A and B are shown apart, each in its own frame.
Chain A
Amino acid sequence: MTKNSQNTLEFKFERTIPAPPVEVFDAWLNPQIPGTPWHEAGKLILNPKVDGFFYWTFKPTGTPHYGRFTEVERPVRIQHTWVSPNTLGEESTVTVTFRKQGENTLMTLVHSDLPDDDKARSHERGWNYFLDKLVDNLGSGSHRQAPLAITK
């Protein structure tokens, strides 16, 4: 995780995929392939060209996701915006690059411009779980339970 001066978060992920970049690139835009963002969507509209839009809902919860493709350069780079309740309705950016690495492809996904906000964090089941546990533990024993202050 990287936090930049605009108080937004950025996450970077890398995977080595055992296939050439063109195959991996095409697969990433194919909703039939497991693991793509558009796979198993409740509702899906996908138009992967520059200024094309996507809309998909996360099947289990119906959570909507919207975005606009800003770069589609086969087979090296895809960039699109990404808006969902988990971005607090703010426009974040997803950039995926595909680099040939011998017979494989080094795939890098960067999700940037994510708002770093306590409200955004309250969506985090893991974070809430962690905080609940921490506060529970803080309250155990003979010590007085105190609210957990997070300084900014």
Chain B
Amino acid sequence: MDRLSDVLTAISHPTRRAIIAQLSNGPARFLDVAKPFDTALNSVTKHLKLLERAGLIERQKQGREVLISFRGEPLRDVAGWVHHYERFWNERLDQFAQYFKDKKKKEKR
């Protein structure tokens, strides 16, 4: 999967969005991340793996502890996906290409 798909997959689940919300307050240890959820630690680990694959979190070792922190940068990929000029030019170029396709069809008749 491409990066954008990874990010969209990562934010498609309420638990993972809740994890992002929690981590946006600051880095936390794994057990603190898992605490609010009535779910197996194993399941939280899987959610974290998907967030990590999308680049939305990173783990940093601090002494004996591993801190998990939120990274917002990949959300910019999503922003880029719907950037004004991406929409603008795609719409315009589709219209432009369609004009020529229609013209060609008419010429064949």
Contact = CB atoms under 8 A, between A and B. Distances in A.
B73 A151 contact: yes
Contacts of B85: 11, 86, 111, 114
User: Size range of the interface on B?
Assistant: 35 or more
Contacts of A86: 84-85
Contact of A34 (B25, B86, B95): B95
A111 B99 contact: no
A148 B24 CA distance: 6
A144 B101 CA distance: 53
B83 to A, nearest CB: 6
22 contacts: A15-B96, A18-B100, A27-B99, A28-B96, A33-B96, A34-B95, A35-B92, A35-B93, A35-B95, A36-B96, A39-B95, A111-B89, A114-B83, A127-B82, A127-B83, A134-B11, A143-B21, A143-B36, A146-B24, A148-B21, A149-B70, A152-B73
Task: Tell me the interface secondary structure of chain A in the complex.
Answer: loop
A151 B71 CA distance: 6
Contacts of B53: none
Contact of B100 (A17, A124, A149): A17
A150 B72 contact: yes
A14 B17 CA distance: 35
B21 A146 contact: yes
Contacts of B77: 1
A137 interface: yes
A128 to B, nearest CB: 9
A72 interface: no
